[in-house]
A and B are shown apart, each in its own frame.
Chain A
Amino acid sequence: MSNRIQPASRRDFLTGLFSAGALILGARLVPAEQITAASDVKDATWNPNIWIGINSDGSVLIVTHRAEMGTGIRTTLPMILADELEADWARVRLQQAIGSDKYGSEDTDGSCSIRDFYDTMREAGATARAMLVNAAAAQWNVPLDECGAHNHEVLHKKSGRKLGYGELAAAAAKQPMPHNSTIQLKKPSEFRYIGKGVPSYDLKDMCTGRAVYGFDAHLPDMVYAAIERAPVLGGTLKSFDDAQAKSVKGVQQTVVIESAKPPYGFQALGGIAVIADNTWAASQGRKKLKVEWESGANAIFQTDTYKRDLIQTAQKPQKVVRKAGDVEQGLKGAAKVLEATYYTPLLAHAPMEPPAALAIWRDGKVEAWTATQSPQDVQKTVAQAVGIKPEDVICHVTLLGGAFGRKSKPDYVAEAAILSKKVGKPVKIAWTREEDIRFDFYHSTSAMYFKAGLDASGKPVSWLQRSVFPPIGSTFDGKSEYGDDGEMSMGWIDVPFDVPNFRAENGPAKAHVRIGWLRSVANVYHAFGVQCFIDELAHAAGKDPVEYWLESLGPARKLDFKGQAEKFANYGKPLNEYPYDTARLRRVAEVAAERSGWANKRTAKRAVGFAAHRSFLSYVAAVVEVDIDSGGKVRIPRVDIAVDCGPVINPDRVKAQFEGASVFGTSVALFGEITASDGRIDQGNFNNYPVARLNEAPLETHVHLIANDDALPTGTGEPGVPPMSPAIYNAVFAATGKRFRELPLRKQKLV
């Protein structure tokens, strides 16, 4: 990775944050692959993405450009920088970056923050450290190599003299920027924080109610809006009567927002907004609106018939996305042939904080405060919505009360901006839970068909699989019906088993709702189908599932799928740096099995299930123990998750991500299902869209982090989710002898 670090001009910096003479280092750092990747020009700009400021009082300010939705990343990236800076974390303050192209990509999505910014944070910190040391050496008039930085000070070893970072800041600011090639990064043995971790910067605020989320944004003269939207995607307004709504005390006016037209992208959906003095009046006013909608083309959407169609499509030949050997020939020679069809429903994100934004239109510009994963998408979306340029949108990023992918789609911020322009005041939008669940960008529904042939020893010799799901692309081009390279490379092309005859196919499906990405995306259903089906094969072969899984994985090798698949996206990363290494997958599988005590875990009603999956370049295996209680319901007393995500930067937060994924995956397996009737979403709150509660979640999740300092650091926010639902289903099979092939388990009366 080659980065260029340059001093940035003072006007680039947030004004008022630094005292006169402060050392300010703007690091123009963009990962090299972002510059060379021709496919994604929007990220190929050379702009600063981080800032450091050191004040004369010694306080260090680090601008953090990733959104905090619970992963700890807002803390962890600055922590890396602080480590290389040899800064005392207690004297570091964070400043959340506003949305701006000058940061490079700020989109906190795809489990890529550490992967893409680990080196750049280190180099930025090391550069500032070098300048501080240079300044001290110059002041003392001693050779550089007699000086070193340690815990917020520079020391002259021979004389024992010391100068604090605050004392050096003004002089360091005048030092020339060292050339990138001369920057000395620390040795791992010298790390203060990397690999050890620090608590979330916001921990105390989160425990005292002081943490500020999008829902909490406030301006003194703001008004509150509640929007009634068309219940069917693409529906339009026929007529409405707002007389009663306007009679509610506190309601000021109603405003019509034009209906969005396909492709919907991140547009505001449109509807009738009730503008009021407070949240309650707005919601009461909305209830009193009388509205007639023209439903439009998506009123045909019924999830039960749609499911049948998906399954039928999956059972017919479709577009080949990976092919090795000759599947039909392989099946002919097989001693045993198995077929299975799996189905997964639409899912809603349901973050605890529903979408919320505050926006103010002023003199042709918009300023917004919102819980967003992607402030730059806020700029673009809002700009388009109100007819201004993206750079005329200032987006302040609050904390996010959960997100899971929902809050990278800023339709709700566009609503606030449109309304502010119309009413001439700051407008606060705070969705209800019903709005959140009924107007989501849903995780896609899928059908998957599998057929495999085993030889006489039980080994799989032929494997055919077809998946069908309405793709994310449909939200953006309106026509897309096939999975794109990214979706196909999330556990579908990249099935790691060593099967000589293998074919993966993908069939078309038309979307009738907005489809979006949810924590681990297409890996959720692909891992569910593949990891359950291999378990079916193990049982058909009469083998222990883990032993069979490991045998099927085959010898250690690096998979590139060349000559078999047109393109394996590998999360946008080159395979030479981020290989698909089956030895690493084997290792997590073995560790999970060993640490869970897999071998001796079975009793009459208690059983274990296994799954392992690589996603976001990390390797994860899960062993789930289930217990069927006296009422015939599934309980999960214990989960063991083994993880190889390369070097672990902030261990406790990484563990927390996998503990959380264990619960999130439990919600997927046991509870999650969105259905539609006549195009309308049937669910609306946690009563009919339940998520795992404390008494339903795994009692214990043991996370086993495999130290792998030879690899590059990779994702941790999402990769814990994919193995969970198949491991739970495989455990349920082991406990009950019943093979369920549909999410969620709630439909089987086992929950």
Chain B
Amino acid sequence: MIQLKVNGAAKQYEGDGEMPLLWFIRDHLQLTGSKFGCGMGLCGACTVHVNGEAVRSCLTPMSAVGGKEVTTIEGLSAHGDHPVQKAWEHVQVPQCGYCQSGQIMQAAALLKQKPKPTDRDIEAAMSGNICRCGTYQRIREAVKIASGQKRTVTA
């Protein structure tokens, strides 16, 4: 029996400890905001926070999250108003939107660690998250707005 917290609520899991956290979140809890993209930790669509750090849930086995606190996109903020989410809306980052839960969770973890990230910090933190629609330019901008380093959208 594995016990953990997901978005503040106690959960338990009995089963194959090798099963990745992503499938617990999606199939067992029906929290579908965390996405499958590659299953190999290559794209970041499945990014969640485990004890406050960004991890790839597609590669994190259930056996590794016992006693941990997991936060998914659904639990990032009560009303979708985390500074990163607000900036994402302001800049209109998403196109298809599929990778954006992972992008937002990654960016939120970055800002927790580095409240005023430099361009280089942003590149280092966000290059593990693939966006096939190509919203990278707006992701850079939204991270700067979320961190209070930029206020307006440039043309």
Contacts and interface: CB of A to CB of B under 8 A. Distances in A.
Contacts of B129: 693-694
Given A687-B40, A692-B134, 19 more contacts: A70-B96, A207-B80, A207-B89, A207-B93, A207-B104, A208-B80, A209-B72, A212-B32, A215-B35, A216-B26, A224-B27, A352-B132, A353-B37, A660-B135, A686-B38, A686-B130, A691-B132, A693-B130, A694-B139
B92 A199 contact: yes
A279 B27 contact: yes
A507 B101 CA distance: 46
Contacts of A402: 96, 98, 132-133
Nearest to B77: A208
A576 B110 CA distance: 54
A737 B122 CA distance: 33
Interface in B74-131: 74, 80, 85, 88-89, 92-101, 104, 122-123, 126-131
Contact of A663 (B38, B39, B126, B136): B136
A69 B101 CA distance: 16
A403 B126 CA distance: 23
A117 interface: no
B136 A694 contact: yes
A653 to B, nearest CB: 8
A192 B34 CA distance: 36
A695 B80 contact: no
A697 B139 CA distance: 12
A694 B30 contact: no
Contact of B94 (A200, A430, A687, A692): A200
Contacts of A209: 31-34, 72-74, 101
Contact of A203 (B73, B89, B99): B89
Interface of B: 15-16, 19-20, 23, 26-28, 30-40, 42-43, 45, 72-74, 80, 85, 88-89, 92-101, 104, 122-123, 126-140
A280 B136 CA distance: 31
B140 A430 contact: no
Contact of A207 (B34, B85, B123): B85
Given A70-B96, A352-B37, A400-B96, A694 B123 contact: yes
Given A208-B74, A402-B132, A660-B135, A433 B40 contact: yes
B139 A686 contact: no
Given A203-B89, A691-B130, A659 B135 contact: yes
Interface of A: 68-72, 199-200, 202-213, 215-216, 218, 224, 249-250, 278-281, 284, 350-354, 399-404, 430, 432-433, 652, 656-657, 659-664, 685-687, 691-701
Contacts of B88: 207
Q: Which 9 A-B pairs have the closest CB atoms?
A: A209-B33, A663-B134, A401-B98, A206-B97, A70-B96, A70-B95, A209-B73, A660-B134, A216-B32
B96 A401 contact: yes
18 contacts: A70-B95, A211-B97, A215-B35, A279-B26, A280-B19, A281-B16, A353-B96, A433-B39, A656-B92, A660-B134, A685-B40, A693-B129, A693-B130, A694-B122, A694-B139, A695-B123, A697-B137, A700-B137
A701 B136 CA distance: 10
A656 B23 contact: no
A582 to B, nearest CB: 29
B126 to A, nearest CB: 5
A354 B26 CA distance: 16
Contacts of B126: 694
A209 to B, nearest CB: 2
Contacts of A656: 92, 95, 135, 138
Nearest to A224: B27
A430 B36 contact: yes
A50 B27 CA distance: 35
A218 B134 contact: no
A69 B19 CA distance: 30
Contacts of A206: 94, 97, 100
A401 B97 contact: yes
Contacts of A660: 95, 133-135
B98 to A, nearest CB: 3
Contact of A249 (B16, B38, B138): B16
B44 to A, nearest CB: 10
Contacts of B131: 352, 663, 694
B73 to A, nearest CB: 3
A430 B35 CA distance: 12
A352 B126 CA distance: 16
Contacts of B16: 249, 280-281, 284
A659 B134 CA distance: 7
Contacts of B123: 694-695
Contacts of A212: 32
B78 to A, nearest CB: 10
Contacts of B27: 224, 278-280
B75 to A, nearest CB: 9
A642 B95 CA distance: 20
Contact of A352 (B33, B96, B128): B96
B23 A280 contact: yes
B53 to A, nearest CB: 19
A249 B136 contact: no
B30 A701 contact: no
Which of A687, A693, A698 is the most central at the interface, judged by chain B CB atoms within 10 Å of its CB? A693
Nearest to A697: B136
Given A207-B89, A209-B33, A353-B35, A249 B74 contact: no
A216 B101 CA distance: 13
Nearest to B127: A695
A662 B42 CA distance: 22
Nearest to A702: B155
A119 B49 CA distance: 47
Contact of B42 (A71, A250, A686): A686
Contacts of B92: 199-200, 203, 652, 656
Contacts of B96: 68-70, 351-353, 399-403
B73 A208 contact: yes
A685 to B, nearest CB: 5
Which of A68, A250, A402, A692 is the most central at the interface, judged by chain B CB atoms within 10 Å of its CB? A402
A350 B140 CA distance: 23
A652 B89 CA distance: 13
Contacts of B100: 206-207
